[in-house]
Chains A and B, each alone.
Chain A
Amino acid sequence: MTKEERRNIRTGLAFISPWIIGFFAFCVYPLVSSVYFSLCDYSVLSSAVFIGMHNYTDLAADEVFWTALGNTFFFCAAAIPLGLVVALALAILLNFDIRGRGIYRTIFFLPSLVPMVCLAVLWQWLLNGEVGLVNNLLNPLLGFMNNLFGTQWVAPNWLAEARWAKWGLIFTVIWGVGNAVVIFLAGLQDVPRHLYESAEIDGAGFWHKTLHITLPILSPVIYFNLVMGLIGSFQVFAVPYVLTGGGDGPQRSLLFLATYLYQNAFDFWNMGYACAIGVVLFVIILACTLLLRAFAEKHIYYAGK
């Protein structure tokens, strides 16, 4: 290494040092210490006492933890694919060359600028079973269907019924899908026009072009949104917390891993137990991301390779 190279490295390190220091102080240190505290009986105020795997064996026997885990998986399994499909469909529609395209794009992006807490407060009322707008739209529709088929469908009390609460949350979250739409839109600009043109010459219609050109070329972007969605969905906390007014929903239907972690850390004074939940959550997200990566190696098209 020459003297100049060494100097460049030093300067470079100096410039990124705020980030490096922050990374170690606010990411690495908490991560390592929470792994340690997950092996302790720890309530923040009194010093931690090492108890080995006790917190983890307790977790395994804790049915509320399993409820939270089940709810989290259900939410991810429903919200991630739905979110992706909706975002992708919107992006493809917003990519059509129509008048006022910019306005439509703005409209669909706007909700993602709303802070999550406001979004949740807003949807608390939209989803209200009696006076909510969602049911005001649904009721005439269901009435029409009931007349037609002789059924007895009624609109649910979204957030007050255990079996509907999670769907209410999923709608709320999908409303803020604008960020993913923007990323998809950016990806769509990268699809080479000449591919479409040659496909058109071969007689391909809209569906064929979407299926065989757009989606494969977009696959790295889909993958990116999928990973981000996965991480975000496993950590879902703020929106259900506000939707339920700081609780966990009817019959714990909106109790997620992050909610249970928060309750244990700050309501029940079981910081050690909360750390164990955090570690489990970390392992789950890590495993899912690695699985996705292994899958991506085979199925994702990178122009460079």
Chain B
Amino acid sequence: MSCAPRINQLSNNELFWLRFCFSIFILLIPLLVGCGSDSHAERERQGRVVLKYWDKWNGFEAEAMRGVVEDFNKSQDRIWVDFNSVSQIDRRLMLATAGGVPPDIAGVWGYSVPVYAENNALMPLDELAREKGIRAGDYIPAYWTLCNHVGHLWGLPSTPTTIALVYNKKLFREAGLDPDRPPQTIAELEEYNAKLTRRGADGRIERIGFLPEEPGWWNALWGYWWGADLVDGSKITARAPENTAAYEWLQTYPDRFGADKLVSFRDGFGNFASPQNPFFTGRVAMVLQGVWIFNFIKNYAPSDFEWGVAPFPSSGSGARDAVTLAECDMLVIPSGAKHPREAFEFIAYVNSQPVMERLCRGQLKFSPLAVCSDEFLDSHPHPHIREFLALAKSPNAKGYPRTAIWTSYEADMRNAVSRIWGGSATAGEALDDVQARQQKNLDRRIERWKRMEPALQKLWSKQ
């Protein structure tokens, strides 16, 4: 190793340059770190309580919320809200809260409230809401339910959604169907499906009337339209007869159309958020979609795209009319947040009628509040906002099952659907597996909850 240079053999010149580069590097560090501050905002904040607010939105939805935040900051001189778009909010929030540096306000999905609450990640808002006079009656019942878990209030809605049958009117006319009379029952849906589906000479599917897998975002919930629930207290009801019936219906798809043919057909679909979305290109005539579909139609569908909205048909009628999934984005205060009172000030501001209407119009959604102004509905850019709102008020509107094991349960249900579609299991077999696995999972979760609940309830009642 005689040829390797040793440090004391560096020439003076080399040493100079080494030292020079090193000093520049050291000098740069504070510059780089200091880059983030904005002197204008800093001035505004002087003397104010600064709240960190994380939300999952980006794009136009974030812009709508940013406008609300700016108005709030202008409306008073005590609190300053700093709005940040954060991706993968559920994971980031979990890690930030565990690390003791949570934001003061977070916008999460309604279905994560049970798991956050049971893990002591949120602050109960009962007392703060009472002080502000916020009551159950202020909200559409489906959304108020989502805000509560294990006897406490954990968040207040920001923007809500429901899902419905969205259909292509032009294709209806082409197939000789009345575009103003969408299917009312599953049997009718399948009649329409048969009329709308077109096959090529070689048997390939060219267009389908309805395909449960497109986009397949609620594959765990098909039972809702058969009157099923997925959890009943401490029992998993994946294999209950109503739920099984729904997945037997799903199984008829690979049986009727051919599993390979469906896979090939789906592989030809473009991205959801693109003009190649199969619903916009007319390859699928009816889809189950949420209130946000208008935004995508506006941006990606051909300009002459005609569409209608109706409650997704149920297997029966009467008691099962207007079944929908009602979910909402939720504003919560993570436990360990430093300024809960000020944070709630902002949440309550968002939940006042004019502000909520402004936010929801900006995000092209309806309002989760029980009362909304005529002006809001009349001037709303979404042409079908009333249909989606009516669904939210239906007695058959419900959210995801209110259980802390939901994400795992849903993953198993998705896999069950994948097996049914791939033909490797019948509906009954696939659901048997989900039932057994998730019952065990739920039992364990209940056991954990029983162990933790007394201490947590004591802590929460003190807050």
Query: A41-B448, A45-B98, A157-B267 in contact; A251/B424 too (CB < 8 A)?
Result: yes
Q: Are A269 and B418 in contact (CB under 8 A)?
A: no
Q: Are A251 and B405 in contact (CB under 8 A)?
A: no
Chain B nearest CB: distance from A61 CB in Å? 9
B28 within 8 A of A: no
Within the complex, which residue of A130, A252, A267 is in contact with B267, where a contact is CB–CB below 8 Å? A130
B252 within 8 A of A: no
B437 contacts across to A, CB distance below 8 A: 63-64
Q: Are B268 and A130 in contact (CB under 8 A)?
A: yes
Most buried by B among A49, A157, A162, A251: A251
Q: Are B407 and A252 in contact (CB under 8 A)?
A: no
B448 contacts across to A, CB distance below 8 A: 41
B422 within 8 A of A: yes
Please measure, in the bound complex, the distance between the C-alpha atom of A131 and the C-alpha atom of B276, giving whole angstroms: 13
Please measure, in the bound complex, the distance between the C-alpha atom of A161 and the C-alpha atom of B424, giving whole angstroms: 11
B119 contacts across to A, CB distance below 8 A: 43-46, 269
Within the complex, which residue of B264, B404, B424 is in contact with A269, where a contact is CB–CB below 8 Å? B404
Q: Are A266 and B264 in contact (CB under 8 A)?
A: no
A268 within 8 A of B: yes
Q: Are A45 and B94 in contact (CB under 8 A)?
A: yes
Q: Are A157 and B424 in contact (CB under 8 A)?
A: no
B40 within 8 A of A: no
Q: Which of B414-441 contact A (CB under 8 A)?
A: 414-415, 418-419, 421-422, 424, 433, 437
Chain B nearest CB: distance from A152 CB in Å? 12
Q: Which of A124-159 contact B (CB under 8 A)?
A: 128-131, 157
B315 within 8 A of A: no
Q: Are B263 and A161 in contact (CB under 8 A)?
A: yes
B424 contacts across to A, CB distance below 8 A: 162, 251
Query: Closest residue to B95 on the A side, CB-wise?
Result: A44
A279 within 8 A of B: no
A129 contacts across to B, CB distance below 8 A: 263-264, 267
Within the complex, which residue of B91, B120, B263 is in contact with A46, where a contact is CB–CB below 8 Å? B120
Tell me if B's interface is mostly helix, strand, loop or mixed: helix
Q: Are B263 and A160 in contact (CB under 8 A)?
A: yes
Q: Are B94 and A252 in contact (CB under 8 A)?
A: no
A96-123 CB mask vs B (1 if < 8 Å, else 0) is 0000000000000000000000000000
Q: Are B94 and A266 in contact (CB under 8 A)?
A: yes
Please measure, in the bound complex, the distance between the C-alpha atom of A256 and the C-alpha atom of B263, giving whole angstroms: 23
Query: A45-B94, A130-B268, A161-B422 in contact; A267/B263 too (CB < 8 A)?
Result: no
Chain B interface size range: 20 to 34
Q: Are A251 and B452 in contact (CB under 8 A)?
A: no
B240 within 8 A of A: no
A131 contacts across to B, CB distance below 8 A: 267-268
A130 contacts across to B, CB distance below 8 A: 264, 267-268
A247 contacts across to B, CB distance below 8 A: 414
A270 contacts across to B, CB distance below 8 A: 408
Query: Closest residue to B265 on the A side, CB-wise?
Result: A130
Query: Closest residue to B425 on the A side, CB-wise?
Result: A251
B266 contacts across to A, CB distance below 8 A: 160
Query: A43-B119, A162-B422, A251-B415 in contact; A266/B91 too (CB < 8 A)?
Result: yes
Q: Give the number of chain A interface residues (Cβ < 8 Å).
A: 27
A46 contacts across to B, CB distance below 8 A: 119-120, 452
Q: Are A251 and B419 in contact (CB under 8 A)?
A: yes
Q: Are A251 and B267 in contact (CB under 8 A)?
A: no
Please measure, in the bound complex, the distance between the C-alpha atom of A248 and the C-alpha atom of B408, giving whole angstroms: 13
B97 within 8 A of A: yes
Please measure, in the bound complex, the distance between the C-alpha atom of A64 and the C-alpha atom of B121, giving whole angstroms: 28
B433 contacts across to A, CB distance below 8 A: 63
Q: Which of B85-131 contact A (CB under 8 A)?
A: 91, 94-95, 97-98, 115, 119-121
A198-230 CB mask vs B (1 if < 8 Å, else 0) is 000000000000000000000000000000000
Please measure, in the bound complex, the distance between the C-alpha atom of A49 and the C-alpha atom of B449, giving whole angstroms: 12
Chain A nearest CB: distance from B363 CB in Å? 24
A263 within 8 A of B: yes
Chain A nearest CB: distance from B61 CB in Å? 20
Q: Are A252 and B422 in contact (CB under 8 A)?
A: no
Please measure, in the bound complex, the distance between the C-alpha atom of A268 and the C-alpha atom of B115, giving whole angstroms: 9
A252 contacts across to B, CB distance below 8 A: 415, 418
Chain A nearest CB: distance from B371 CB in Å? 36
Q: Which of A7-34 contact B (CB under 8 A)?
A: none
A250 within 8 A of B: yes
B264 contacts across to A, CB distance below 8 A: 129-130, 157
Query: Closest residue to A131 on the B side, CB-wise?
Result: B268
Chain A nearest CB: distance from B444 CB in Å? 8
Please measure, in the bound complex, the distance between the C-alpha atom of A169 and the C-alpha atom of B309, giving whole angstroms: 40
Chain B nearest CB: distance from A10 CB in Å? 15
A267 contacts across to B, CB distance below 8 A: 407-408, 411
Within the complex, which residue of B91, B260, B418 is in contact with A251, where a contact is CB–CB below 8 Å? B418
Please measure, in the bound complex, the distance between the C-alpha atom of A246 and the C-alpha atom of B119, giving whole angstroms: 25
A45 contacts across to B, CB distance below 8 A: 94, 97-98, 119-121
B262-291 CB mask vs A (1 if < 8 Å, else 0) is 011011100000000000000000000000
Please measure, in the bound complex, the distance between the C-alpha atom of A63 and the C-alpha atom of B411, giving whole angstroms: 14
Query: A44-B95, A269-B119 in contact; A251/B451 too (CB < 8 A)?
Result: no
Q: Are B411 and A263 in contact (CB under 8 A)?
A: yes
Chain A nearest CB: distance from B86 CB in Å? 15
Please measure, in the bound complex, the distance between the C-alpha atom of A266 and the C-alpha atom of B422, giving whole angstroms: 28
A44 contacts across to B, CB distance below 8 A: 94-95, 98, 119
Besides the known contacts A129-B264, A131-B267, 12 further A-B residue pairs in the complex with CB atoms under 8 A apart: A43-B119, A44-B98, A44-B119, A45-B94, A45-B120, A130-B267, A157-B260, A157-B264, A162-B418, A162-B424, A269-B119, A269-B407
Listed A/B pairs (12) with beta-carbon separation below 8 Å: A44-B98, A46-B120, A63-B433, A130-B267, A160-B263, A160-B266, A160-B267, A162-B418, A251-B415, A266-B91, A269-B94, A269-B407
B-binding residues in A (CB < 8 A) = 41, 43-46, 49, 63-64, 128-131, 157, 160-162, 247-248, 250-252, 263, 266-270
Closest 7 A/B residue pairs (Cβ):
A130-B268, A129-B267, A45-B119, A268-B408, A130-B267, A44-B98, A160-B263
